[in-house]
A and B are shown apart, each in its own frame.
Chain A
Amino acid sequence: MRGDEREKEWALLMRAGNAGDTDSYRRLLVQLTPVLRAVARRGLASAGMADTDAEDVVQETLLAIHLKRQSWDEAAPIGPWLRAIARHKMIDTLRRRGRRIDLPLDDFAEVLAGGESEPNMLVGDVDRHLECLPAGQRNVVRAVAVDGASTGEAAARLSMTNGAVRVALHRGLATLAAKFNMEET
């Protein structure tokens, strides 16, 4: 699929996600992941750094895309928005690790993502930050993410209301994203 067609598809999925279609939204994130991974590897490589951190960058970028998705204007193309977020998170990562480079990410949607499989990560940044979350949020994020429970199942398992699970999940994810920022100072 050509780059601009791919971006149109992503925009469709994002609009559907914004309208409440969680399945389209999940498909969007799944489709973006290998592209983000290739971009992260290339960015780290061009800064002369090992690409073992690439998956951390991917996860942090996915979190940012999710938490800032309202900042995409549905009438605008999605490519520049995605590129800007990916670049921002890449630069953040390099700055945290003491590098600063000018990062060209122009052909984002043209990036070939073939063969870029997910590496086996024992403990990533997200896991470290997850440990620092308040227990309520941590349990909900774990139940939904790692155990694959729906919010309803998580509510039943943790003896919480659906609403409380949703709030804890959202706060937990927002806290995770904030932890990345607190690291740099």
Chain B
Amino acid sequence: MPGMVERFGRAAAPGLAQGPVHRIADRTMLVRRAGSPDEERTALETAIATASEDIAALMAAADEDGAAMLEFQLALLEDDALRAPALTAITAGTDAASAWRDALNAQIDDYRASDDAYFAARASDLQDLSDRVLGHLAGGGAEAAPAPGSILLGRDLTPSRFLALDWSKGGAIALSEGSSSSHVAMLARSRGVPMVVGLSDIPDAAFSEAIVDGESGRLVLDPLPEQRAALAALQSDAALRLGAEAAVLREPAHIASGERVAVLINVAEPEELAALDPAICDGIGLVRTEFLFSSPAGLPDEETQYRAYRTILEWAGDKPVTIRTVDAGGDKPVAGLTIDGESNPFLGMRGVRLSLERPAIFRLQLRALARAAEHGNLKIMLPMVTVPSEIDRAAALLGAAIEELEAAGIPCRRPPLGIMVEVPAVAVVPELFGAAAFFSIGSNDLTQYTTAAARDIAAVAELGDAGHPAVIALIRNVVEGAAKLGIDVSLCGDMGGDPQLLPALMSAGLRAVSVAPPLVGRVKLALARISGEGA
């Protein structure tokens, strides 16, 4: 036993958890020693055979659509034509892993280059096959699934791996790198999974138990008996606070003056809503639609999107639901949609820029949204708007989609079209964006762009402070601009869920926030203590 180790990092998602330690394997660190061409050929054939068995096992557990996609992957993997270039390279002296990676990359590039979105999206199937075989080649094969309730310990965690894990039995995440503004941290907050990032010097020793305190950013490995007792006390404090939050959860939110504040929720996946009572919120302030675009089955068709949007609208009843068009790019790559190898993806083709560049894909989303609008109080929101003409171009595409649907006799409705305010170019001169039906301040990106501190770079995370007076001044400017234009304004970034930052937002005149569902009670309690003066 290495003894107790305590480390402090940065809080990324609140909550307390204790459980068995599970180390996340770091694929970039895996190395294997190459052998003779014969040994390499055998190693590759064995890895391909094992990967085929994996896929066959996954097929047995998959639904019909999933099984069809896996059958396709399996057929590719079993086709000699797929491995032939790799075997040729091995004969010429290349090691098995490089030979396989190069052969698959050539195919992946070929698919990506396709103008047809459906063919381009197949690049993700080949990437999956490439990774799966490389994983087996590197030894250890596919990583064992963590026991339910485990504390995941590692360098970083990808959103797709987070989504593949079962969090229903608790658990937590402790990372040596990572960022509290990453996509995976957002997912952790919305699922109520405690998470700490930026923990330095985690020893490599084998630890069996860990405590993660997502409030204070603390990780304790192999805790002492008194620390376990302290955890129990903290948990009972947390239980008291949860009781106080539960008491106000279904009440309308007010600041101390009695003035009403709208508290809405952010939703990343429709499945989250099943466990939520619509009475806790004033609506949905942000639906992230990226979940639809990250399926291994490729880009979603119109019907899949329509059904997902309709489910969300029906959950909300008469309450407003703001659905954001796909915000791919930045730290959210989507195979077949986003552009690889940009030198600075956060300043590149992302959000509405990408949607306008790929009108065929955008058109399907707009058609699905216009059809879903028949079933509730829908608003459409464009991410990453920088100039007013982007709103005009998106509005024209929405108009064209509605004309097509009407001509075909398909029921649909034109929802209001608003924008995210997350680029400083908009926040400085909001009055130029009167074509928007509403503003929603995306404080995460607004902070990163205002402070020039990337949210996925741990070393500059301290600079990316949403409480910076410049960020607050921009928010005040956007609230005032919206009032002059006579349109609604809300905020859907992480700031809205932070009790430390809510007083500044209320002083800036903001009266609507959209937060992760587990934070609704905490936000309502915090608002009740805020005077809101200075607006």
* A, B in one complex: no
Hey, which bits of chain A sit against chain B, CB under 8 A?
A: none
Hey, which bits of chain B sit against chain A, CB under 8 A?
A: none
